[in-house]
Chains A and B, each alone.
Chain A
Amino acid sequence: MSVAMKNLKTFPGGLHPPDNKQWSADKPIEDCPMPDELVIPLAQHIGAPAEACVEAGELVKKGQLVGTAKGFVSVPIHASTSGEVVAVEPRPHPMGKALPAVVIKPDGEDAWLPGLQGGDPASLSPVELRDRIRDAGIVGMGGATFPAHVKLSPPEDKPIDTLILNGVECEPYLTADHRLMLERPEAILGGIAILQKILGVKRTCIGIEANKPDAIEQLTAATSDLPIEVVPLQVKYPQGAEKQLILAITGREVPSGGLPMDVGVVVQNVGTCTAIDDAVRRGLPLVERIATITGPGVVEPKNLRIRVGTSLQYLVDQCGGLKGEPAKIIMGGPMMGMAQLSLDVPATRGTSGLLLFTSENVPVRPEGPCLRCGRCVRACPARILPTTIAAYARLDLTDEAEAYHAMDCIECGCCTYSCPAALPLVQAIRGAKGAILAKRRKG
């Protein structure tokens, strides 16, 4: 493997934390049973939160609209099972505060809304396809939850020639996309066909990290007679970050402050791809997703197909419960996921995983002075100077931080991970980014 790895494509910088995927990589996706209550937040995506369009007491079917999109960068929210709306009120949200949510008491029938119709992608125009994707509420399923239809609406002056499917899953622990590629390759291929039609691209690649040889093999076989390349990539975090993935596969570098469309590329997660396939061919809105429940704090790690709105506590219960008191709960991957205050929050469309750590797995090191060892600089995939920017950020020197390209930080956390002095580098840079944006808004 090491010989083969040398020739694999990748990006400069990055690092390889122990990936610990073995716990759940061989576990087939299981359907998560129906919880007693579903809390469906109206803010599950980047952009304006949806606006509730149901009231307490109303009966809804699975897939029925419960929140309408507000603006272009926003998506609608749907009921993830049939039942009664018991409340529309602020509930604890993974963001750490109470945000508006639609609470549904399932009736147990899990009946789909009648009249949801699929269509043949071949007979639909690109605009119709895009509208279906938007109406199905599809967002980036890798965890960033950026509305998919926005990415699929590039301006006229930015022609897109390459579509990249992100099956890298470089975050340690997570195996949801891995299982998806093994179990639903036909849905991925169906989604690719739809995306190809919308964007009219010349080249399509599926990027997969080399630590998933079975997925590479399976997709290579499935795409042998299609115009799709499967590109094995070096095992390195953050290989799945959009800009790093584009650089590794196409050799094009997204300019500072630019977007992938500036270099003619659109990247979609494989999970998003299956959701698009479901939305177009079967007419199903995005109400469930695959998530990996794992970590040393859970009895039996699993890959579950979960309904949006299922509480994290319920998910943990399906995996045999907790091993002792959890010291850290992370929604998403360990590098970029969000730490949670409690298990009393719902899973959302962006919940790619749930990680539980006990206190012996969460070493707390005291913060020390910067040693100027440069490990963060070597690890930084955005090729900026994390230690310098963080130091400026701490002194509130926003202009200097901006001059050192703080805005190019992708917040992957490699700097903080690699820092021997345990400095909160990415946290400080994120603060600087906020300050820079605030300053720009002020003008």
Chain B
Amino acid sequence: MSVETMSIFSPELASRLDELVERYPMKRSALIPMLLYAQDEIGYLSDAVIEEVAQRIGITALDVRNVATYYSMLRFKPAGRFNVQVCTNISCMLRGAYEVFDHLQEKLGIGHKGVTADGTFSLEEVECIGACCWAPAMQVNYDFHDELTNEKVDAVLADCKAKAQEGVR
């Protein structure tokens, strides 16, 4: 049976992955983008995701796991719907990143790699995200928020909560 008919992904993602596999001189060059895009849709790299990606490329699931565990953005259990990633590396640290991180821990009631009980938020302390000149900075999923203050952080959280209630991603 073909991968397409068995796919656990949406038709849009499945066709995007079809295109990715054919893009490179070597099929497995598509592996890392495929895993990341699959994670964006499913939320994490479940056994089923790993199995299907392995099949599409024609390598073993073990091989996929071996590669996936290397990359810090790839995860093997669900994060919150809004994954808050605070950079605490030097440039951000000097401008109050730990104060921002403490504030978020208090507001969300979770620590590093924690997920709120309702699954809305997760929190992570991350390494440099390339926003050093606009520090302190964080990413919520893929969105950058820079020159942070506690008030700015509160506004971002409120915005996420409103989106969660409306049911938009």
Q: Do the two shown chains form a genuine complex with each other?
A: no
B interface vs A, CB < 8 Å?
A: none
A interface vs B, CB < 8 Å? none
